[in-house]
Amino acid sequence: MSIIECRDLTKNFGKIRALNNLSFNIEENTITGLVGRNGAGKSTLLKIMAGYLQKTEGEIKVWGEDPFNNLQVSANMIFIDDNMPMPQTLSLIEILEWGSKFYKNWDMDIARGLLDYFSLAPGHFHSHLSRGLKSTFNVIVGIAARCPLTLLDEPTTGMDAAVRKDFYRALLKDYLKHPRTIIVSSHLLNEIQDILEEVLLIREGAKYLHMSISDLKEYGIGLLGKKEILEKIIEGEEVFHREELGKDTYYYVIRNTLKDQKVQEIKLAGVEIKPVTAEDLCVYLTAGKKGGIDSVFNGK
């Protein structure tokens, strides 16, 4: 069942088009990673889903209803990002207690346990926390709320590697125990891919692709070899990336539609085949200017 349905969603901020005819569906009880460049429209999309921002055109339905100004949606949804306007006058434990008063599914044991695990003093105030600890507290609220729709907008901002690992694990464990629909936007796809089921890649406000993580990991294939040989092989194939690695060695990434026979041919031609990580693939797919960053320095 689709929890979120989006058809030709467009959002303008004045003259800037943040979302451009975006269409997709999110199924119930899945973890979806929302991936894209900075400024691609991920936060905007999540905030529209949460009912904070209004759409300009198109249609967005959460549980079949418009999420803007919608109490039903608000009661079953929580949106966590790195600059949440948490109450300044309440201590951490008080914020958690009020969370439990608002949300019907709130799990206070988990909340307290996580607070203790990450060494957050219950009596401290949110504004006194470091950036990483603020993010940590915010995700504790997000996990403990157990909302059927949990939206996390770059929740790991500022977190150190150890905390990030713990966060992914905690999110996954609680998700498995109490299934819900989770959408996480993150730049660290390599880290988070192990807990994701689906990936939605946004490019310039529009959907670029929406597939399972396992499909995404095999979507592209990397070829390493001499330029002339590579140019022959990639004829007719969809090329995502070209790079010069060294003297006469080039690295190309193409769409993985190769049959076994072709793979054998490529190997015999002296070309090395490498898998492409989901993160690298997304970078290539959303690449902007041709020539890469080197062109800035070469021009001079």
Partner 1 sequence: MFSTGNSLLETVKKQYNFKLRLYMNLFISLVVVQVIAILFTAGGTGSYGTGTGNIYFYEKFYSSNIIIAFTLLWAFFAAVLLTTRDYRDMDFVFIGNRLSSNISNMGFLVTASLAGGFTAVLGGVLLRVILYYSLGPYNILSDYYFVSLGDLSRAVLATFLYLILACALGYFCGILVQLSKAFVVILPALFFGTLITVSAMEEAHLVDYVFNFIVEESSFTLFLVKVIFTAAILFGSSLLLSNRLEVRK
Q: Give the binding site for partner 1 (CB under 8 A).
A: 47, 50-54, 63, 69-72, 74-76, 78-79, 84-87, 89-90, 94, 98-99, 101-105, 148, 178-180
Minimum distance of partner 1 from residue 121's CB (angstroms) = 20
Which residue, 64 or 275, is less far from partner 1 as judged by CB? Answer: 64
Which residue, 64 or 270, is less far from partner 1 as judged by CB? Answer: 64
Q: CA 88 to CA 81: how far, in whole Å? A: 17
Q: CA 28 to CA 125: how far, in whole Å? A: 35
Q: CA 132 to CA 136: how far, in whole Å? A: 6
Q: CA 176 to CA 203: how far, in whole Å? A: 30
Q: CA 158 to CA 101: how far, in whole Å? A: 29
Minimum distance of partner 1 from residue 17's CB (angstroms) = 16
Q: What is the CA radius of gyration of the chain?
A: 22
Which residue, 95 or 276, is less far from partner 1 as judged by CB? Answer: 95
Minimum distance of partner 1 from residue 66's CB (angstroms) = 11
Q: CA 66 to CA 55: how far, in whole Å? A: 10
Minimum distance of partner 1 from residue 259's CB (angstroms) = 44
How many other CB atoms sit within 10 Å of the CB of residue 251? 17
Which residue, 94 or 280, is less far from partner 1 as judged by CB? Answer: 94
Which residue, 84 or 258, is less far from partner 1 as judged by CB? Answer: 84
Q: CA 7 to CA 61: how far, in whole Å? A: 9
Minimum distance of partner 1 from residue 170's CB (angstroms) = 19
